[in-house]
């Protein structure tokens, strides 16, 4: 377990800011306690300070997880966000997509969102912007990358992809053993 | 006083004597036979014979009664029987006479004996051997004799009276770019010594690799033209090689402190200063924010496009509404309208520049609107 190096923090924040912009400050500077990011076996964990101190007593092979896992660093140094970070991304998300009830199921199975399944989208979403996907009843379902800007979304045909799937809460069942 | 015995009695006596002689002979052969036992041996399981080693392996079960009775005699008889079988087999082999003795050539042994010494370890491959294996380079055997042009004769490639012996040169040409005061003979000797030293170093390095002892890094060995990293590494090591491990060595005026030298990476402690960590992270975020442009061009373009669309749709509505009436009013300039709005939005970053682009984009928007 170790804190992130500068380069790692930079990569990590760049990825996060794609989804929540500058609200990362609210994650770092919390009024209700000190929380920190720690790296353990290539995964980044967001954990409160006193839990982290206790976790420091567990040896490296025996420690499986602590706090919330935000994602992991791949072998080539890129950061990949996992679905377990959704609880922290959803409240601070800048750009959101609401999905029609019919298309919820297909998104939860890991497919991309088509124009026909698009309910609402925040104004002025640029292309390839990180978005958080909600159902029509405002339940966060996962996140993705906008395939088209809001403008283009209005004009395209109903069968084109408007949002690339990145992670969804169906992964808690599908990829149960890889999440920590 | 020899009386003439009756002839009959003499004959009878002779007959009796002969009879007794026969008896004697018989008894002798019998005793002889009883002394030497038969050469036929009866065994339930055939013993395995290894004539090469003169070995007989008898796997017949031992008779427990006889064993308990007279152990020595029983075992001796068993041994005798097995030896008899062995010799029967030996006599079956082709014999030859060697200096009045009958000899037999024993066949190859069939039992596998265990090794006396452990299996020898494979020799560790040298660096060159590994490379040659990788590239598929074969060794080429060089002959001992080489043609010497000067002597017009075949001379050994190396050693006493070798061909092309450099040390025998009594004059060496000074090359054009060399210092005239340099001793060329000295230079040659030095070069030779360096080659020998390099070879020795490489040999020792191969051995060190084999015995898993520490191999000095390549950067430390002297090279003709060290690269920037090698010089840096040498400098770093020179600074550290003091009694107090470089704590008091002063930095040169313009020297930058090397961030990451050496094999081990150093990380912050897991439970360090939290405030400092927070500060660092906030700094990183600030830097990231500063790097991003305050006005996103694509966003501005998109905004212009939305406005153009809205105006176009409101135009359509007005046209439909004002079908009967003639629409009056000054011809609206879409470009200028866009420009005006953009001017307000782009207060930070040079309105003129954005305006120019806005005009261009407005034109595009117009085109799109028409196309639709």
Please give the ipTM for the structure prediction.
Answer: 0.88
Nearest Cβ partner for B285 among A5, A13, A124: A13
The minimum CA-CA distance between B368 and chain A, rounded to whole Å, is 12
Among A78, A89, A73, A149, residue whose Cα is nearest residue A118: A149
Asked if B271's CB is within 8 angstroms of A2's CB, the reply is: no
**C-alpha span between B253 and B90 (Å, rounded):** 96
Smallest Cα distance from A172 to chain B, Å: 29
Residues in chain A with CB shorter than 8 Å from the CB of B281 are 9, 13, 28, 37
B170 touches chain A (CB under 8 A): no
User: Under an 8 A CB cutoff, do A25 and B299 touch?
Assistant: no
Chain B residues with beta carbon closer than 8 angstroms to that of A53: 271
Distance CA B198, CA B210 (A): 18
Between CA A115 and CA A113 the distance in angstroms is 7
Residues B298, A126: C-beta atoms closer than 8 Å: yes
| Residues B67 and B123 sit within 8 Å (Cβ to Cβ) | no
Alpha helix segments (H runs only) across B2-70: 7-35, 64-69
**What is the CATH code for A93-174?**
2.30.130.10
In the beta sheet, which residues pair with residue A164? A145
User: Best residue in B272, B277, B278, B281 to probe A by mutation, most A CBs within 10 Å?
Assistant: B281
Chain B nearest-CA residue for A30: B278
The answer to whether A3 contacts B298, with C-beta atoms less than 8 Å apart, is no
Domain spans of chain A, in order of start: 2-89, 93-174
Cβ of B302 and A150 within 8 Å? yes
Distance CA(B81)–CA(B59), nearest Å, equals 13
Mapping DSSP onto H, E and C, the string for B242-294 reads CCCCCCCCCCCCCCCCCCCCCCCCCCCCCCCCHHHHHHHHHHHHHHHHHHCCC
pLDDT at residue B278 in the model: 92
Query: Which DSSP letter does residue B57 get?
Result: E
Chain B residues touching A49 at Cβ < 8 A: 274
Sheet holding A68-73, edge to edge: A35-40, A43-48, A68-73, A79-81
A2-89 topology per CATH: Nuclear Transport Factor 2; Chain: A, (3.10.450)
In whole angstroms, how far apart are CA A38 and each of B106, B131, B260, B277, B280? 78, 43, 22, 11, 14
The helix/strand/coil state of A158 is coil
Residues of B in Cβ contact (< 8 Å) with A48: none
Q: Which runs of E-coded beta strand occur in chain B?
A: 48-50, 55-57, 95-97, 102-104, 145-148, 153-156
Tens digits of pLDDT across chain B (372 residues): 555 556 666 666 666 666 677 777 777 666 665 667 777 778 888 888 999 999 999 988 888 888 888 889 999 999 999 999 999 999 888 888 888 888 888 899 888 889 999 999 888 899 999 999 999 999 999 999 999 988 899 999 999 999 988 888 899 999 888 888 889 999 999 999 999 999 999 999 898 888 877 665 555 666 667 788 778 888 888 888 889 988 888 887 777 666 666 677 788 888 888 899 999 999 999 999 888 876 677 777 878 888 888 888 888 888 877 665 555 555 554 444 444 444 444 444 444 444 444 444 444 444 444 443
- Selection from B47, B34, B59 nearest residue B85 by Cα: B47
């Amino acid at each position: 377990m170790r804190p992130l190096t500068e380069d790692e923090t930079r990569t990590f924040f760049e990825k996060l800011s794609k989804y929540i912009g500058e609200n990362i400050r609210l994650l770092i500077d919390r009024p209700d306690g000190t929380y920190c990011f720690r790296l353990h076996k290539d995964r980044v964990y967001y954990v409160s300070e006193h839990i982290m101190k206790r976790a420091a007593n567990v040896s490296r092979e025996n420690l499986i997880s602590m706090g919330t896992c935000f994602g992991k660093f791949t072998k080539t140094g890129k950061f990949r966000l996992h679905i377990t970070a959704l609880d922290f991304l959803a409240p601070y998300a800048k750009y959101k997509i609401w999905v029609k009830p019919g298309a919820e199921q297909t998104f939860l199975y890991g497919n991309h969102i088509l124009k026909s399944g698009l309910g609402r989208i925040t104004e002025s979403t640029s292309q390839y912007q990180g978005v958080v996907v909600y159902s029509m009843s405002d339940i966060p379902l996962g996140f993705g990358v906008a395939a088209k800007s809001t403008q283009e979304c209005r004009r395209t045909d109903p069968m084109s992809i408007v949002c690339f799937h990145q992670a969804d809460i169906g992964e808690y069942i599908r990829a149960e053993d890889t999440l920590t | 006083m020899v009386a003439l015995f009756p002839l009959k009695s003499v004959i009878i006596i002779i007959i009796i004597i002969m009879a007794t002689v026969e008896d004697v002979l018989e008894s002798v052969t019998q005793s002889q036979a009883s002394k030497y036992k038969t050469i036929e041996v009866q065994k339930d399981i055939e013993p395995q014979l290894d004539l090469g080693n003169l070995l007989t392996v008898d796997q017949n079960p031992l008779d427990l009664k006889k064993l308990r009775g007279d152990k020595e005699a029983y075992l001796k008889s068993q041994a005798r029987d097995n030896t008899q079988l062995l010799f029967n087999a030996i006599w079956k082999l082709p014999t030859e006479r060697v200096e009045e003795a009958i000899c037999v050539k024993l066949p190859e042994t069939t039992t596998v004996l265990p090794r006396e010494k452990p299996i020898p370890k494979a020799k560790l491959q040298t660096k060159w051997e590994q490379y040659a294996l990788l590239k598929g380079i074969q060794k080429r055997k060089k002959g001992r004799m080489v043609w010497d042009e000067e002597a017009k004769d075949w001379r050994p490639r190396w050693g006493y009276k070798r061909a092309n012996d450099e040390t025998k040169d009594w004059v060496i040409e000074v090359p054009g770019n060399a210092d005239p005061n340099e001793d060329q003979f000295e230079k040659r000797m030095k070069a030779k010594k360096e080659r020998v030293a390099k070879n020795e170093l490489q040999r020792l390095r191969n051995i060190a690799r084999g015995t898993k002892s520490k191999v000095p890094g390549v950067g430390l060995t002297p090279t003709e033209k060290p690269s920037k990293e090698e010089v840096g590494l040498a400098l770093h090591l020179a600074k550290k090689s003091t009694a107090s491990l470089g704590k008091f060595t002063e930095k040169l005026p313009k020297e930058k402190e090397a961030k990451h030298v050496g094999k081990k990476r150093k990380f912050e402690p897991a439970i360090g200063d939290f405030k400092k960590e927070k500060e660092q992270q906030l700094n990183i975020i600030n830097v990231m924010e500063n790097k991003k442009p305050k006005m996103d061009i694509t966003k501005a373009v998109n905004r212009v496009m939305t406005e153009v669309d809205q105006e176009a749709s409101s135009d359509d509505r007005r046209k439909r509404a004002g079908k009967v009436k003639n629409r009056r009013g000054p011809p609206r300039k879409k470009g200028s309208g866009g420009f005006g709005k953009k001017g307000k939005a782009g207060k930070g970053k040079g309105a003129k520049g954005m305006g120019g682009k806005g005009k261009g984009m407005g034109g595009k928007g117009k085109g799109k609107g028409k196309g639709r």
